Structure 1
Amino acid sequence: MPFLPISKQDMKDRGIDQLDFICVTGDAYVDHPSFGIAIISRMLENCGCNVGIIAQPVTDEDFKKLGEPKYCFLVTGGNIDSMVSNYTVFKKKRWDDAYSEGGKGGKRPDRAVTVYCKTLTRLFPDKEIAIGGLEASLRRFAHYDYWADKVMPSILVDSGAKLLMYGMGELTIVQLYRELAEGKKLSEIHDIRGTCYLTEPKNTPLGAVQCDSFEIVSENKKAYAKSCRQQYDEQDEVYGKTMVQRHGNMMLVQNPPQRSLTQSEFDKAYELPYMKAYHPCYEKGGGVPGIKEVEFSITHNRGCFGYCNFCSIALHQGRRIQTRSEESVINEAIDLTKKPGFKGYIHDVGGPTANFRRTSCDKQEKAGLCKGKKCLAPEPCPALKVDHSEYLEMLRKIRSIKNVKRVFIRSGIRYDYMMKDKNDEFFKELVEHHVSGQLKVAPEHASNKVLDLMGKPHIEVYEDFEKKFYKYTKECGKEQYLVPYLMSSHPGCTIKEAVELAVFLKKHNIRPEQVQDFYPTPGTISTAMYYTGLDPYTMQEVYIPRDPKEKEMQRALLQYYKKENKQIVAKALIRAGRRDLIGYGKECLITPDGLALQQDRKGAVKNGKNSSSKAKTYQRQGNKSGGRNKMQKKKH
């Protein structure tokens, strides 16, 4: 099957006078199921619809080049929120974009969904618009916007779209098409799960859960935190209720979440005739870099019951695990071996969390996931069922396929889930067969206080996992390392906890090349903490590191070993009351030589010289450790 039409000439070549749907996206056109718009467009095509793609439009002519659709325009900001794509956590403009031609930034506007919708409304005032994708999904309620530093209304209000599809939209888009084909307008379709719409308050559905209005949550942070909790509590397909939130003289209505795909439906969605490549029109400009990460990778599952507070998956994909059949995954692996450029390596067989192939417990199918609770944190639920056997068997079969040299797992591995498996068979085979030198895992922090606010397991679990990983690595005679994802300045993290993380890194000989500052992206629980200073589930106050100098200190502590960070690390340690970590002892983070610090209340450091008493302390530490520590072999 060819790519979908992107021009009038493409339509003419296919004998199409008018398209049924036109998809407008903030990404370059990549026809691969890791791009949401590719799945939606192919699902519609499978229903017999003619579908066209307008990728990263700029001018009016770009928007008009396919004419007017029969049913409606479908608009998405792309695979990630356009503001996250366009700006760093420090609100500086990005100049790169993996989802654009040549990897160059600047090809999508800020708040792409709203900009695209307003342009389409101006050019096609009589044609309705439906929105979806991550940007729309996570902005469906009144939400704190980090870049504007204020609460913004539902994206339905700002964009003027008639319908919002949230979450994963395969079933939703098919149901929507059927109702449109019956002659209904978007503005009349209010009965599909997984959708939101605006209506007059008098039409508010009975029995809905109502959270505080946009006007209230804009002014009252306690109300905002409470509303965030309500929104998350109703995101279960079994017991989730209709939710409403007033916006001025209109009522936002969120229908209950769409049901999960059955395994056969999931298989079908991924077996549609994708080209699994970027459109040839981008070849001259260097292609689209985003395809490299997924070109020889396989998605076998969806959803995550890990439910980390800083992650958007729970509000978008959901906590329920959906899986493709073993047969479907293996057939895709065989197809990959026949693709040009395949060199024998399958880069990933994963998903949001690679090693989930079943519900976390047996009751979820009928009762749903526990409201307000996590399956794995701070400790695994007693009802947790851990089983890697199906996933392991599938990996073994993929490894045995002709022309497959190695099968790697590069997407998220939940090590806490692995540690609850009484059988280490998967652990051993993961280490022996599926690590490409480095295994990336996400402890995120070392302070259990911060980890509790992140919704992550305590650091002792990671330490136990680390010991096992290196034990099995040694046993199979390999040199492999763990690469931990770490985050600074998450809500609840003071300088004290940041120092605790630095000490942990020193103890474990971890030297991260890159560090991540907490990014308050729309819709997450951690973002609600950042804005309100409250934990939505306890309503207790949470410390928020907002001062740029403190955030700089927290970042520097993660890379305390870099010469350029020495002065700021010293300031951070003094601020935290941890002068004991400045010295020549084996546990010290930095040495005192060369420091230029002002005298603090204790008068220990002044004008770059140690006071005599402190200097003696440093000297004693140096004598005990045999002088300055020798650099240990860099393992991470």
Structure 2
Amino acid sequence: MTNFLPMTREDMAERGWEQLDFLFISGDAYVDHPSFGPAIISRLLEKYGYKVGIIAQPDWRTTNDFKRLGKPRLGILVSAGNLDSMLNKYTAAKKYRSTDNYSPGGQAGLRPERATIVYCNRLREIWKKTPLIIGGIEASLRRFAHYDYWSDSIRRSVLIDSRADLLIYGMGEKQIKDLAAQLAAGIGIENIRDIPGTCYRTETLEHLWDYAEIPGYQEVVNSKADFAQAFKIQYLEQDPIRGKNIVQGYGEQYVVQNPPAMPLSTQEMDEIYDLPYQRTYHPSYTAAGGIPAIQEVKFSIVSHRGCYGSCSFCALYAHQGRIIQSRSKESILREAGEIVRMPDFKGYIHDVGGPTANFRQPACEQQADRGACRGKQCLFPNACKSLNTDHTEYLELLRAIRKIPGIKKVFVRSGLRYDYLLAANDMQFLRELCEHHVSGQLKVAPEHISAKVTQLMGKAGKDTYLKFKKAYEKVNKELGKEQYLVPYFMSSHPGAGLKEAVELAEFLRDTGYNPEQVQDFIPTPGSISTCMYYTGINPLTGEKVYVAKKPEDKRLQRALLQYRNPKNYELVYEALTKANRRDLIGYEPKCLIRPPRNKPQAAVSQAGKSNKTRRVAPARDKRGKEKRLDRKI
């Protein structure tokens, strides 16, 4: 018998089980690792004495595969996987992705579109009265009426369309523990209405006394202003301490969201990450080549959850929350020791962090009693005076890990907030980061440099990035290290037009950075930026926002970020012409491209004529080789 959770009747028989307590249906392949939600929830239930089995990526075309482990005694748990199933399947251009890193061998097409809904409707065909509970990122971020980019429409709450009994939003550990206890005690699922971090359907609001009602489904379909207002209330009430119940109407029924679950304590975090994970994929996938997604996390350590960075394009606030929840140093060192003992470990810890690597503690002491501040950000537009910027504990943690015998190097690869590091003014941390925890490149995410765009993104501006870049280069020079800063930039975010895209292209020219990959903004459910994309309104201020929605407009912006690529020449020429920036077409060093050969000579500036043979030299390193700053570490 293996130590993986049962996936077949034979696995159940080896454990002496005739019936499961909970059946977990997952859109991902089964990877028994704490970076995969189904593994965490299932292992936690197992710890508390429940019998759990997993059916991963069932064939949804019939009901046969869903019956494989039989009817569970207490309930069925459904998750689309670690990614929204639509994002997993489609690119920003709405084209099919060729691979799926959460499937055997990276094979695409093993889960349906809108997997949560499809799985639940199949299950309802089989077991109509068995409690059906949905969760995971897809359910979490689609819990209210939401804009769906792939259908370009407003869709109902996934709780309505799936016909599930209960929706767990957020990470789910507190909720599933409480829910399992109530179901085991014989309480009917229709009577379980009091668990924080859950949503349910109801036909009456008589049992509620203090709640915020947002515009109903039909209202947000008919009015973008109502959609923005509904989103604003959801956003402002997303706090476990001060948040209210939120109600949204759907004809004769309502979706009710209870306030978020309370943050996990350090002891609870340790309990979750100390569970007996196998730390790899189920052996049944070996013949297909395994599960590619494990490679990014197999030798990485999650040190904390939550993020108060509050980037507008990120919906993490609605899933993990703004209050940081950290593991103890002892728990992290135990996991590092486990990794060292893995047979294929080569001595390199790939990452120690979370959504933001250097957010290891709550933003301030007040959050414990009052929650995150309503309508205010911790870092934007400037760092709050109450913000705790001390990096000492995180630095001590990194030092302790790299002292463990068998560990050669500890990298920091998850998002690092350089504006937070600058606010700390901790050059010792930056020095040790560069000396011990960077391998040639440090990836950061300024996302844009236009003040108009970064303000809408909730990100630090260009000057902050340049200040950090200067400090980073200075420290590396002092250390005698040749290490580069690799910035990520985003095209077509709300607020970004051709003018702003040209501004970013000029910045790339002046800094000598040539990105091979550019991220197009994808309006995924739950983010402020997605609300802006759909409505053309900043929901927090009511201001109108320009949005590039036409595919040709998006292509022009993307091409400008890669203006050096010869394949983009025609698009860059068109973009500069439309932006009335033909001054950037010529032979001068500041020009982005040369004039086209088939254009009349009169189209070339007089200054350009005298410099026909000049070209902008690419940035080069000390050995004279052209720098390639955006390859993977």
Question: TM-score under structure 2 normalisation?
Answer: 0.96
Q: Give structure 2 stretches of 5+ with no counterpart.
A: 621-625
CA contact (8 A) 1:228 1:528 kept: yes
User: Separation in 2 of the partners of 1:168 and 1:187?
Assistant: 22
2:456 corresponds in structure 1 to 453
1:45 corresponds in structure 2 to 46
CA contact (8 A) 1:26 1:55 kept: yes
Three-state SS of the structure 2 residue aligned to 1:289 is coil
CA contact (8 A) 1:130 1:186 kept: no
Q: Any idea what the Cα deviations from partners look like across 1:286-344, whole Å, max 9, x if unmatched?
A: 10000000100000010000011100100111011010001111111111110010001
Three-state SS of the structure 2 residue aligned to 1:391 is helix
* Mapping of residues 277-316 of structure 1, within 5 Å: 277-316=280-319
* Mapping of residues 18-37 of structure 1, within 5 Å: 18-37=19-38
* Cα RMSD (Å): 1.2
CA contact (8 A) 2:512 2:618 kept: no
1:253 corresponds in structure 2 to 256
2:619 maps to a residue whose letter is Q
1:502 corresponds in structure 2 to 505
2:616 corresponds in structure 1 to 629
> Aligned match of 2:586 in 583, 606, 609?
583
2:243 corresponds in structure 1 to 240
Query: Cα offset for 1:630?
Result: 2.6
The answer to whether structure 1 residue 168 and structure 2 residue 171 are counterparts is yes
CA contact (8 A) 2:147 2:154 kept: yes
- Judging changes above 3 Å, is the alpha-carbon distance between structure 1 residues 50 and 155 closer, same or farther for their aligned structure 2 residues? same
> Aligned match of 1:192 in 190, 195, 198?
195
User: Separation in 2 of the partners of 1:588 and 1:379?
Assistant: 34
The answer to whether structure 1 residue 129 and structure 2 residue 132 are counterparts is yes
User: Separation in 1 of the partners of 2:512 and 2:549?
Assistant: 29
User: Separation in 2 of the partners of 1:557 and 1:221?
Assistant: 31
Query: Cα offset for 1:593?
Result: 4.2
User: Separation in 1 of the partners of 2:284 and 2:600?
Assistant: 63
1:149 maps to a residue whose letter is D
* Mapping of residues 32-431 of structure 1, within 5 Å: 32-58=33-59, 59-203=62-206, 205-431=208-434
1:52 maps to a residue whose letter is G
Query: Cα offset for 1:627?
Result: 2.2
1:274 maps to a residue whose letter is Y
CA contact (8 A) 2:159 2:166 kept: yes
The answer to whether structure 1 residue 480 and structure 2 residue 471 are counterparts is no
Corresponding residue pairs, total: 620
* Mapping of residues 515-534 of structure 1, within 5 Å: 515-534=518-537
Query: Cα offset for 1:382?
Result: 2.3
CA contact (8 A) 1:103 1:288 kept: yes
1:616 corresponds in structure 2 to 606
2:623 corresponds in structure 1 to none
2:8 corresponds in structure 1 to 7
Query: Cα offset for 1:481?
Result: 1.1
Query: Cα offset for 1:442?
Result: 0.5
1:30 maps to a residue whose letter is V
User: Separation in 1 of the partners of 2:64 and 2:70?
Assistant: 10
Query: Cα offset for 1:369?
Result: 1.1
User: Separation in 1 of the partners of 2:260 and 2:594?
Assistant: 55
Three-state SS of the structure 1 residue aligned to 2:288 is coil
Q: Any idea what the Cα deviations from partners look like across 1:468-487, whole Å, max 9, x if unmatched?
A: 11111111111211111110
User: Does 416-425 or 305-314 show the bigger shift?
Assistant: 416-425
Three-state SS of the structure 1 residue aligned to 2:12 is helix
Q: Which ranges of 4 or more aligned residues in structure 1 deviate by more than 2 Å? A: 201-204, 626-632
Q: Give structure 1 stretches of 5+ with no counterpart.
A: 597-607
User: Separation in 2 of the partners of 1:423 and 1:486?
Assistant: 26
2:548 corresponds in structure 1 to 545
Q: Any idea what the Cα deviations from partners look like across 1:98-143, whole Å, max 9, x if unmatched?
A: 1000011101100000000000000112212000000000000010
Query: Cα offset for 1:238?
Result: 1.2
* Mapping of residues 555-566 of structure 1, within 5 Å: 555-566=558-569
Query: Cα offset for 1:166?
Result: 0.2
Q: Any idea what the Cα deviations from partners look like across 1:495-516, whole Å, max 9, x if unmatched?
A: 0000001011111111111111
